[in-house]
Amino acid sequence: MVNSKAKQWLDATTAFAERSVRKAVERAHSSHVRLGVTGLSGSGKTVFTTALAHALLHARNEPTMLAFLGALHKGQIVAANTEPLPGLPRFPVEDNARRLASSQPHWPEPTHELSGVRIVVRFRAGGLWRNLGLEPELRVDIVDYPGEWLVDLPLLGSDYRAWSLKTWHDLAQGDGTTTPGPAAEWCASADAIPAPSGLDARAAEYRRLLAQLKGDRFGWSWLTPGRCLTWTEAGWLASGCAFFPVPPEALAPGPLAAALSQRYASYLDRHVKPFYRDHLRNLDRQIVLVDLLGALARGRDSVLGMRRALGAILAHFRYGSWARLLRPLLGRRIGRVMVAAAKADLVTRSQHLALRSLLRETVQWSAMRKLEDADQVAQDRTLYAIGYLASVRSTTERYRTEDGVQYAGLLGRPKGYTADKVLRTSEVPPALPSAEDWPADGFIYRQFEPPNLSSYKERAFPHIGLDKAIEFLIGDKVS
Protein backbone atom coordinates (compact mmCIF):
# COMPACT_ATOMS: atom_id res chain seq x y z
CA MET A 1 0.00 0.00 0.00
CA VAL A 2 2.82 2.37 0.96
CA ASN A 3 4.72 1.59 -2.22
CA SER A 4 1.57 2.17 -4.26
CA LYS A 5 0.98 5.57 -2.68
CA ALA A 6 4.62 6.50 -3.11
CA LYS A 7 4.45 5.52 -6.76
CA GLN A 8 1.29 7.60 -7.24
CA TRP A 9 2.96 10.57 -5.60
CA LEU A 10 6.10 10.10 -7.72
CA ASP A 11 4.07 9.81 -10.92
CA ALA A 12 2.06 12.91 -10.09
CA THR A 13 5.21 14.86 -9.23
CA THR A 14 6.91 13.75 -12.45
CA ALA A 15 3.88 14.68 -14.55
CA PHE A 16 3.68 18.09 -12.86
CA ALA A 17 7.38 18.69 -13.48
CA GLU A 18 7.03 17.70 -17.14
CA ARG A 19 4.07 20.04 -17.60
CA SER A 20 5.93 22.86 -15.88
CA VAL A 21 9.02 22.40 -18.04
CA ARG A 22 6.90 22.20 -21.19
CA LYS A 23 5.01 25.38 -20.29
CA ALA A 24 8.24 27.19 -19.49
CA VAL A 25 9.80 26.15 -22.79
CA GLU A 26 6.67 27.04 -24.75
CA ARG A 27 6.51 30.41 -23.03
CA ALA A 28 10.15 31.04 -23.89
CA HIS A 29 9.48 30.21 -27.53
CA SER A 30 6.23 32.16 -27.79
CA SER A 31 6.13 35.53 -29.52
CA HIS A 32 4.16 38.69 -28.97
CA VAL A 33 3.63 41.17 -31.81
CA ARG A 34 1.98 44.56 -31.50
CA LEU A 35 0.68 45.21 -35.01
CA GLY A 36 -0.28 48.75 -35.90
CA VAL A 37 -3.02 49.04 -38.52
CA THR A 38 -2.57 52.65 -39.61
CA GLY A 39 -4.68 54.68 -42.00
CA LEU A 40 -6.76 57.80 -42.41
CA SER A 41 -10.52 57.69 -42.11
CA GLY A 42 -12.06 55.50 -44.81
CA SER A 43 -8.86 53.61 -45.62
CA GLY A 44 -10.29 50.24 -44.55
CA LYS A 45 -8.63 49.57 -41.18
CA THR A 46 -11.68 47.85 -39.66
CA VAL A 47 -12.24 45.63 -42.72
CA PHE A 48 -8.54 44.71 -42.77
CA THR A 49 -8.50 43.72 -39.09
CA THR A 50 -11.68 41.70 -39.51
CA ALA A 51 -10.40 39.94 -42.64
CA LEU A 52 -6.98 39.20 -41.10
CA ALA A 53 -8.47 37.69 -37.95
CA HIS A 54 -11.09 35.73 -39.89
CA ALA A 55 -8.40 34.38 -42.25
CA LEU A 56 -6.16 33.16 -39.43
CA LEU A 57 -9.06 31.66 -37.49
CA HIS A 58 -10.05 29.52 -40.49
CA ALA A 59 -6.71 29.26 -42.29
CA ARG A 60 -6.57 25.47 -42.20
CA ASN A 61 -10.02 24.97 -43.75
CA GLU A 62 -9.01 25.99 -47.26
CA PRO A 63 -5.28 26.76 -47.57
CA THR A 64 -5.58 27.83 -51.22
CA MET A 65 -7.32 31.01 -50.05
CA LEU A 66 -4.00 32.03 -48.43
CA ALA A 67 -1.58 30.84 -51.09
CA PHE A 68 1.34 33.03 -50.00
CA LEU A 69 1.20 32.23 -46.27
CA GLY A 70 4.21 29.91 -46.04
CA ALA A 71 3.65 28.54 -42.53
CA LEU A 72 0.17 27.37 -43.50
CA HIS A 73 1.37 25.34 -46.46
CA LYS A 74 4.20 23.82 -44.43
CA GLY A 75 1.57 22.50 -42.03
CA GLN A 76 2.87 24.60 -39.14
CA ILE A 77 -0.34 26.43 -38.18
CA VAL A 78 -2.29 24.24 -35.75
CA ALA A 79 -5.11 26.46 -34.50
CA ALA A 80 -6.08 30.07 -33.79
CA ASN A 81 -8.47 31.94 -31.56
CA THR A 82 -9.18 35.49 -30.47
CA GLU A 83 -9.04 37.08 -27.04
CA PRO A 84 -9.88 40.57 -25.76
CA LEU A 85 -7.08 43.04 -25.12
CA PRO A 86 -6.79 44.00 -21.44
CA GLY A 87 -8.36 47.36 -20.70
CA LEU A 88 -10.11 47.77 -24.07
CA PRO A 89 -13.56 46.89 -25.42
CA ARG A 90 -13.37 43.83 -27.64
CA PHE A 91 -13.01 44.42 -31.36
CA PRO A 92 -16.06 42.71 -32.94
CA VAL A 93 -14.32 40.21 -35.23
CA GLU A 94 -17.11 37.64 -35.07
CA ASP A 95 -19.93 40.18 -35.47
CA ASN A 96 -18.23 41.88 -38.43
CA ALA A 97 -17.54 38.55 -40.13
CA ARG A 98 -21.11 37.40 -39.52
CA ARG A 99 -22.53 40.54 -41.13
CA LEU A 100 -20.26 40.18 -44.14
CA ALA A 101 -21.29 36.55 -44.60
CA SER A 102 -25.02 37.13 -44.00
CA SER A 103 -27.79 36.88 -46.57
CA GLN A 104 -27.78 40.70 -46.77
CA PRO A 105 -24.08 41.51 -46.46
CA HIS A 106 -22.81 44.95 -45.52
CA TRP A 107 -19.50 46.49 -44.57
CA PRO A 108 -18.61 46.94 -40.88
CA GLU A 109 -19.73 50.17 -39.28
CA PRO A 110 -17.16 53.00 -39.14
CA THR A 111 -15.07 53.00 -35.99
CA HIS A 112 -15.95 55.64 -33.39
CA GLU A 113 -14.12 54.40 -30.27
CA LEU A 114 -11.08 52.36 -29.26
CA SER A 115 -11.30 48.59 -29.32
CA GLY A 116 -8.78 45.78 -29.49
CA VAL A 117 -8.28 42.13 -30.27
CA ARG A 118 -5.55 39.58 -29.61
CA ILE A 119 -5.20 36.86 -32.25
CA VAL A 120 -3.50 33.78 -30.79
CA VAL A 121 -1.97 31.44 -33.36
CA ARG A 122 -0.63 28.06 -32.24
CA PHE A 123 1.91 26.47 -34.54
CA ARG A 124 4.39 23.64 -34.85
CA ALA A 125 7.90 24.97 -34.54
CA GLY A 126 10.85 23.72 -36.53
CA GLY A 127 14.26 22.41 -35.53
CA LEU A 128 14.84 21.34 -31.93
CA TRP A 129 11.42 22.62 -30.91
CA ARG A 130 9.75 20.27 -33.40
CA ASN A 131 11.56 17.29 -31.85
CA LEU A 132 10.16 18.27 -28.46
CA GLY A 133 6.65 18.14 -29.89
CA LEU A 134 5.94 21.73 -28.85
CA GLU A 135 3.15 23.94 -30.11
CA PRO A 136 4.26 27.48 -29.20
CA GLU A 137 1.99 30.44 -29.87
CA LEU A 138 2.12 33.81 -31.52
CA ARG A 139 0.01 36.58 -29.99
CA VAL A 140 -0.87 39.40 -32.38
CA ASP A 141 -2.34 42.48 -30.68
CA ILE A 142 -4.29 44.97 -32.82
CA VAL A 143 -5.97 48.17 -31.63
CA ASP A 144 -8.72 49.67 -33.79
CA TYR A 145 -9.41 53.38 -33.60
CA PRO A 146 -11.05 56.13 -35.69
CA GLY A 147 -8.81 57.39 -38.49
CA GLU A 148 -9.72 60.92 -37.47
CA TRP A 149 -7.66 60.47 -34.30
CA LEU A 150 -4.54 59.79 -36.31
CA VAL A 151 -4.32 63.22 -37.94
CA ASP A 152 -3.87 64.78 -34.49
CA LEU A 153 -0.39 63.28 -34.01
CA PRO A 154 1.39 66.29 -35.60
CA LEU A 155 -0.14 68.47 -32.87
CA LEU A 156 2.31 66.85 -30.46
CA GLY A 157 5.11 68.94 -31.97
CA SER A 158 3.28 72.27 -31.95
CA ASP A 159 1.74 74.82 -29.61
CA TYR A 160 -1.53 76.63 -30.18
CA ARG A 161 0.03 79.73 -31.72
CA ALA A 162 1.99 77.78 -34.36
CA TRP A 163 -0.99 75.55 -35.12
CA SER A 164 -3.36 78.50 -35.49
CA LEU A 165 -1.01 80.42 -37.81
CA LYS A 166 -0.53 77.44 -40.12
CA THR A 167 -4.15 76.31 -40.13
CA TRP A 168 -5.49 79.82 -40.71
CA HIS A 169 -3.10 80.31 -43.62
CA ASP A 170 -4.14 77.02 -45.24
CA LEU A 171 -7.84 77.76 -44.83
CA ALA A 172 -7.55 81.32 -46.14
CA GLN A 173 -5.04 80.65 -48.93
CA GLY A 174 -5.81 77.07 -49.90
CA ASP A 175 -3.71 73.94 -49.62
CA GLY A 176 -3.66 73.14 -53.34
CA THR A 177 -4.36 75.06 -56.51
CA THR A 178 -7.68 76.52 -55.34
CA THR A 179 -9.31 77.58 -52.11
CA PRO A 180 -12.64 75.88 -51.36
CA GLY A 181 -15.34 78.50 -50.92
CA PRO A 182 -16.47 77.34 -47.46
CA ALA A 183 -12.99 77.83 -45.98
CA ALA A 184 -12.59 81.34 -47.39
CA GLU A 185 -16.06 82.28 -46.24
CA TRP A 186 -15.41 81.00 -42.73
CA CYS A 187 -12.18 83.02 -42.49
CA ALA A 188 -13.94 86.15 -43.75
CA SER A 189 -16.73 85.84 -41.18
CA ALA A 190 -17.50 88.88 -39.03
CA ASP A 191 -16.97 86.77 -35.89
CA ALA A 192 -13.51 85.52 -36.92
CA ILE A 193 -12.29 87.14 -33.70
CA PRO A 194 -15.10 86.23 -31.31
CA ALA A 195 -15.90 87.76 -27.96
CA PRO A 196 -15.16 85.55 -24.91
CA SER A 197 -18.84 84.61 -24.77
CA GLY A 198 -18.78 83.47 -28.40
CA LEU A 199 -16.00 80.87 -28.23
CA ASP A 200 -18.28 77.85 -28.27
CA ALA A 201 -20.40 79.19 -31.14
CA ARG A 202 -17.28 79.77 -33.25
CA ALA A 203 -15.92 76.33 -32.27
CA ALA A 204 -19.18 74.71 -33.42
CA GLU A 205 -18.94 76.55 -36.76
CA TYR A 206 -15.37 75.33 -37.17
CA ARG A 207 -16.39 71.74 -36.51
CA ARG A 208 -19.07 71.99 -39.20
CA LEU A 209 -16.48 73.44 -41.59
CA LEU A 210 -14.14 70.49 -40.92
CA ALA A 211 -16.91 68.01 -41.64
CA GLN A 212 -17.62 69.74 -44.94
CA LEU A 213 -13.98 70.01 -46.06
CA LYS A 214 -13.17 66.41 -45.08
CA GLY A 215 -16.14 65.05 -47.04
CA ASP A 216 -16.19 63.49 -50.48
CA ARG A 217 -16.28 66.82 -52.30
CA PHE A 218 -12.99 68.25 -50.97
CA GLY A 219 -11.23 65.48 -49.08
CA TRP A 220 -8.96 67.69 -46.96
CA SER A 221 -7.79 64.81 -44.77
CA TRP A 222 -5.09 66.77 -42.94
CA LEU A 223 -7.39 69.16 -41.05
CA THR A 224 -7.26 69.12 -37.25
CA PRO A 225 -8.47 68.52 -34.61
CA GLY A 226 -9.66 65.24 -36.08
CA ARG A 227 -11.21 63.78 -32.96
CA CYS A 228 -13.95 66.42 -32.82
CA LEU A 229 -15.65 64.77 -35.83
CA THR A 230 -16.09 61.51 -33.91
CA TRP A 231 -18.02 63.35 -31.19
CA THR A 232 -21.40 65.01 -31.41
CA GLU A 233 -21.32 68.77 -31.54
CA ALA A 234 -22.67 68.91 -28.00
CA GLY A 235 -20.01 66.47 -26.81
CA TRP A 236 -17.25 68.48 -28.47
CA LEU A 237 -18.36 71.70 -26.80
CA ALA A 238 -18.84 70.00 -23.43
CA SER A 239 -15.31 68.54 -23.53
CA GLY A 240 -13.73 71.86 -22.61
CA CYS A 241 -11.27 71.37 -25.49
CA ALA A 242 -13.17 73.01 -28.37
CA PHE A 243 -10.56 75.20 -30.06
CA PHE A 244 -10.23 76.76 -33.53
CA PRO A 245 -7.78 78.97 -35.45
CA VAL A 246 -7.97 82.77 -35.38
CA PRO A 247 -6.48 85.49 -37.59
CA PRO A 248 -2.78 86.24 -36.84
CA GLU A 249 -3.62 89.59 -35.24
CA ALA A 250 -5.80 87.81 -32.67
CA LEU A 251 -2.81 85.86 -31.30
CA ALA A 252 -1.45 88.81 -29.34
CA PRO A 253 -1.41 88.19 -25.56
CA GLY A 254 -4.90 88.56 -24.20
CA PRO A 255 -7.96 86.67 -22.94
CA LEU A 256 -8.85 85.13 -26.34
CA ALA A 257 -5.41 83.69 -27.09
CA ALA A 258 -5.04 82.48 -23.49
CA ALA A 259 -8.40 80.71 -23.48
CA LEU A 260 -7.77 78.95 -26.80
CA SER A 261 -4.22 78.01 -25.80
CA GLN A 262 -5.59 76.43 -22.62
CA ARG A 263 -8.16 74.44 -24.59
CA TYR A 264 -5.51 73.29 -27.06
CA ALA A 265 -3.18 72.15 -24.25
CA SER A 266 -6.04 70.34 -22.53
CA TYR A 267 -6.89 68.52 -25.77
CA LEU A 268 -3.31 67.29 -26.10
CA ASP A 269 -2.98 66.24 -22.47
CA ARG A 270 -6.34 64.48 -22.15
CA HIS A 271 -6.66 62.85 -25.57
CA VAL A 272 -3.74 62.97 -28.02
CA LYS A 273 -0.86 62.15 -25.70
CA PRO A 274 -2.54 59.18 -23.95
CA PHE A 275 -3.62 57.72 -27.30
CA TYR A 276 -0.08 57.95 -28.67
CA ARG A 277 1.60 56.75 -25.47
CA ASP A 278 -0.70 53.80 -24.80
CA HIS A 279 -1.43 52.51 -28.30
CA LEU A 280 1.02 53.78 -30.92
CA ARG A 281 4.39 54.33 -29.28
CA ASN A 282 5.50 50.72 -28.84
CA LEU A 283 4.46 48.96 -32.04
CA ASP A 284 6.55 46.10 -33.47
CA ARG A 285 5.04 45.83 -36.93
CA GLN A 286 2.88 48.18 -38.98
CA ILE A 287 0.70 48.25 -42.08
CA VAL A 288 -0.20 51.65 -43.50
CA LEU A 289 -3.41 51.55 -45.57
CA VAL A 290 -3.77 54.32 -48.16
CA ASP A 291 -7.01 54.99 -50.05
CA LEU A 292 -5.35 56.39 -53.16
CA LEU A 293 -8.29 55.64 -55.42
CA GLY A 294 -10.69 57.54 -53.20
CA ALA A 295 -8.33 60.52 -53.12
CA LEU A 296 -7.95 60.46 -56.92
CA ALA A 297 -11.71 60.42 -57.32
CA ARG A 298 -12.04 63.51 -55.11
CA GLY A 299 -9.39 65.45 -57.03
CA ARG A 300 -5.76 66.49 -57.11
CA ASP A 301 -5.97 68.62 -53.96
CA SER A 302 -7.23 65.58 -52.06
CA VAL A 303 -4.19 63.54 -53.11
CA LEU A 304 -1.83 66.34 -52.10
CA GLY A 305 -3.62 66.76 -48.77
CA MET A 306 -3.45 63.03 -48.08
CA ARG A 307 0.27 63.02 -48.89
CA ARG A 308 0.78 65.88 -46.47
CA ALA A 309 -1.23 64.18 -43.72
CA LEU A 310 0.56 60.84 -44.12
CA GLY A 311 3.99 62.45 -44.04
CA ALA A 312 3.22 64.35 -40.84
CA ILE A 313 1.65 61.29 -39.20
CA LEU A 314 4.35 58.76 -40.06
CA ALA A 315 7.04 61.06 -38.69
CA HIS A 316 5.71 60.29 -35.19
CA PHE A 317 6.25 56.51 -35.37
CA ARG A 318 9.49 54.88 -34.23
CA TYR A 319 11.19 52.94 -37.02
CA GLY A 320 14.32 50.83 -36.84
CA SER A 321 15.04 48.11 -34.27
CA TRP A 322 17.20 48.49 -31.18
CA ALA A 323 19.67 45.85 -30.17
CA ARG A 324 17.81 43.27 -28.11
CA LEU A 325 19.51 44.21 -24.83
CA LEU A 326 18.55 47.87 -25.23
CA ARG A 327 14.83 47.36 -25.86
CA PRO A 328 13.81 47.39 -22.17
CA LEU A 329 15.58 50.72 -21.72
CA LEU A 330 14.71 52.50 -24.96
CA GLY A 331 11.33 51.02 -25.85
CA ARG A 332 10.17 49.24 -28.96
CA ARG A 333 10.63 50.28 -32.56
CA ILE A 334 8.84 49.13 -35.68
CA GLY A 335 10.92 46.45 -37.38
CA ARG A 336 8.64 45.80 -40.37
CA VAL A 337 6.29 48.18 -42.13
CA MET A 338 4.14 47.63 -45.18
CA VAL A 339 2.53 50.49 -47.06
CA ALA A 340 -0.40 49.27 -49.16
CA ALA A 341 -2.84 50.91 -51.54
CA ALA A 342 -6.19 49.73 -50.19
CA LYS A 343 -9.34 48.79 -52.12
CA ALA A 344 -7.40 47.42 -55.09
CA ASP A 345 -10.57 45.59 -56.15
CA LEU A 346 -12.00 48.90 -57.39
CA VAL A 347 -9.78 48.67 -60.49
CA THR A 348 -8.87 45.81 -62.81
CA ARG A 349 -5.70 43.77 -62.43
CA SER A 350 -4.07 45.62 -65.32
CA GLN A 351 -4.07 48.77 -63.16
CA HIS A 352 -2.41 47.32 -60.06
CA LEU A 353 1.18 48.06 -61.07
CA ALA A 354 0.28 51.68 -61.84
CA LEU A 355 -1.48 51.88 -58.46
CA ARG A 356 1.65 50.63 -56.74
CA SER A 357 3.79 53.12 -58.69
CA LEU A 358 1.56 56.04 -57.69
CA LEU A 359 1.66 54.92 -54.06
CA ARG A 360 5.46 54.86 -54.10
CA GLU A 361 5.45 58.45 -55.31
CA THR A 362 2.77 59.53 -52.82
CA VAL A 363 4.34 58.29 -49.58
CA GLN A 364 7.04 60.47 -48.08
CA TRP A 365 9.59 57.79 -47.30
CA SER A 366 11.86 60.30 -45.57
CA ALA A 367 9.27 60.54 -42.80
CA MET A 368 9.69 56.81 -42.22
CA ARG A 369 13.50 57.03 -42.27
CA LYS A 370 13.63 55.29 -45.64
CA LEU A 371 17.21 56.35 -46.37
CA GLU A 372 18.95 56.20 -49.73
CA ASP A 373 22.45 55.36 -48.54
CA ALA A 374 22.96 51.59 -48.23
CA ASP A 375 24.90 51.88 -44.98
CA GLN A 376 22.21 54.06 -43.45
CA VAL A 377 19.51 51.61 -44.52
CA ALA A 378 21.43 48.79 -42.83
CA GLN A 379 21.59 50.83 -39.63
CA ASP A 380 17.88 51.67 -39.87
CA ARG A 381 17.15 47.93 -39.60
CA THR A 382 13.52 48.24 -40.65
CA LEU A 383 12.16 46.04 -43.44
CA TYR A 384 9.90 48.00 -45.78
CA ALA A 385 7.39 46.70 -48.33
CA ILE A 386 5.03 48.48 -50.67
CA GLY A 387 2.04 46.91 -52.36
CA TYR A 388 -1.70 46.87 -52.87
CA LEU A 389 -4.53 44.83 -51.42
CA ALA A 390 -8.25 44.38 -51.02
CA SER A 391 -8.95 42.93 -47.59
CA VAL A 392 -12.33 41.64 -48.78
CA ARG A 393 -12.80 41.57 -52.54
CA SER A 394 -16.09 43.12 -53.67
CA THR A 395 -15.73 42.73 -57.45
CA THR A 396 -14.69 40.27 -60.13
CA GLU A 397 -13.44 41.05 -63.61
CA ARG A 398 -15.65 40.60 -66.66
CA TYR A 399 -14.84 41.29 -70.30
CA ARG A 400 -17.31 43.24 -72.41
CA THR A 401 -17.31 44.52 -75.99
CA GLU A 402 -18.31 48.08 -76.77
CA ASP A 403 -18.26 49.49 -80.30
CA GLY A 404 -16.26 46.50 -81.39
CA VAL A 405 -13.60 47.00 -78.70
CA GLN A 406 -13.17 44.55 -75.86
CA TYR A 407 -12.51 45.93 -72.39
CA ALA A 408 -12.16 44.61 -68.85
CA GLY A 409 -14.82 45.80 -66.43
CA LEU A 410 -15.74 45.15 -62.82
CA LEU A 411 -18.76 43.06 -61.90
CA GLY A 412 -20.29 43.89 -58.54
CA ARG A 413 -23.10 45.71 -56.78
CA PRO A 414 -22.30 49.43 -56.83
CA LYS A 415 -23.12 51.39 -53.71
CA GLY A 416 -26.75 52.48 -53.85
CA TYR A 417 -27.76 49.75 -56.33
CA THR A 418 -29.80 46.63 -55.66
CA ALA A 419 -28.36 44.47 -58.46
CA ASP A 420 -24.96 43.67 -59.91
CA LYS A 421 -23.61 45.68 -62.82
CA VAL A 422 -20.47 45.66 -64.97
CA LEU A 423 -18.72 49.03 -64.81
CA ARG A 424 -15.64 50.53 -66.41
CA THR A 425 -13.25 52.56 -64.30
CA SER A 426 -10.60 55.15 -65.04
CA GLU A 427 -7.06 54.02 -65.66
CA VAL A 428 -4.73 54.68 -62.75
CA PRO A 429 -1.94 57.19 -63.47
CA PRO A 430 1.49 55.77 -62.53
CA ALA A 431 2.44 59.28 -61.34
CA LEU A 432 0.33 62.17 -60.12
CA PRO A 433 -0.72 64.32 -63.10
CA SER A 434 -0.15 68.04 -62.98
CA ALA A 435 -3.12 70.35 -62.59
CA GLU A 436 -2.96 71.08 -66.33
CA ASP A 437 -3.00 67.38 -67.23
CA TRP A 438 -5.78 66.42 -64.84
CA PRO A 439 -8.69 64.79 -66.73
CA ALA A 440 -11.56 67.18 -67.36
CA ASP A 441 -14.05 64.67 -65.96
CA GLY A 442 -11.70 63.58 -63.16
CA PHE A 443 -10.98 59.98 -62.18
CA ILE A 444 -13.94 57.68 -61.63
CA TYR A 445 -13.74 54.75 -59.20
CA ARG A 446 -17.02 53.41 -57.87
CA GLN A 447 -17.57 52.01 -54.39
CA PHE A 448 -19.15 48.54 -54.22
CA GLU A 449 -21.16 46.68 -51.61
CA PRO A 450 -19.81 43.32 -50.39
CA PRO A 451 -20.79 40.33 -52.56
CA ASN A 452 -22.53 37.15 -51.42
CA LEU A 453 -20.04 35.72 -48.91
CA SER A 454 -22.30 33.13 -47.30
CA SER A 455 -19.97 30.31 -48.36
CA TYR A 456 -17.00 31.95 -46.59
CA LYS A 457 -18.17 31.67 -42.98
CA GLU A 458 -15.51 29.06 -42.21
CA ARG A 459 -12.74 30.11 -44.58
CA ALA A 460 -10.87 33.25 -45.51
CA PHE A 461 -12.85 35.86 -47.44
CA PRO A 462 -11.90 36.43 -51.09
CA HIS A 463 -9.19 39.07 -51.21
CA ILE A 464 -6.31 40.58 -53.13
CA GLY A 465 -2.92 40.39 -51.44
CA LEU A 466 -4.09 39.79 -47.86
CA ASP A 467 -2.01 36.61 -47.62
CA LYS A 468 1.10 38.46 -48.84
CA ALA A 469 0.54 41.12 -46.19
CA ILE A 470 0.15 38.50 -43.43
CA GLU A 471 3.28 36.68 -44.60
CA PHE A 472 5.35 39.87 -44.56
CA LEU A 473 4.02 41.14 -41.23
CA ILE A 474 4.12 37.97 -39.10
CA GLY A 475 5.31 35.09 -41.29
CA ASP A 476 8.76 35.05 -39.72
CA LYS A 477 7.20 34.57 -36.27
CA VAL A 478 5.59 31.22 -37.12
CA SER A 479 8.48 29.55 -38.89
Non-local CB neighbours of 192 within 8 Å, separated by 6+ positions: 246, 247, 250
Non-local CB neighbours of 415 within 8 Å, separated by 6+ positions: 446, 447, 448, 449
Residue 69: predicted pLDDT: 82
Task: Domains for the chain: give ranges and CATH numbers.
Answer: 31-150+281-394+453-478 (3.40.50.300), 162-278 (no CATH)
Residue 132: predicted pLDDT: 52
Residue 7: predicted pLDDT: 67
Which helix (DSSP H) or strand (DSSP E) does residue 402 occupy? strand 396-402
Residue 375: predicted pLDDT: 45
Q: 210-256, pLDDT tens digit by residue?
A: 999 887 677 788 889 999 999 999 999 999 999 999 999 999 999 99
Dihedral angle at the C-alpha atoms of 37, 41, 44, 47, nearest 10 degrees? Answer: 80
Query: Which residues pair with residue 400 across a beta bridge?
Result: 407
Residue 376: predicted pLDDT: 42
Q: What is the pLDDT along the chain (479 residues), one digit of tens a residue?
A: 456 767 666 766 666 655 544 444 444 445 899 999 999 988 999 999 999 999 999 998 888 888 878 878 777 888 899 999 999 999 999 999 999 999 899 999 988 899 999 999 988 766 555 555 566 889 999 999 999 999 999 999 899 999 999 999 989 886 544 556 889 899 999 899 999 899 999 999 999 999 998 876 777 888 899 999 999 999 999 999 999 999 999 999 999 999 999 999 999 999 999 999 999 888 999 999 999 999 999 999 889 888 888 888 888 887 765 444 334 433 567 889 999 999 999 999 999 999 999 999 888 665 665 434 444 444 456 788 899 999 999 999 999 888 888 889 999 999 989 899 999 999 999 999 999 999 999 999 999 999 999 999 999 999 999 999 999 999 888 76
Residue 51: predicted pLDDT: 97
Residue 43: predicted pLDDT: 93
pTM: 0.86
Q: 75-125, pLDDT tens digit by residue?
A: 788 889 999 999 999 999 999 999 999 989 999 998 889 999 999 998 876
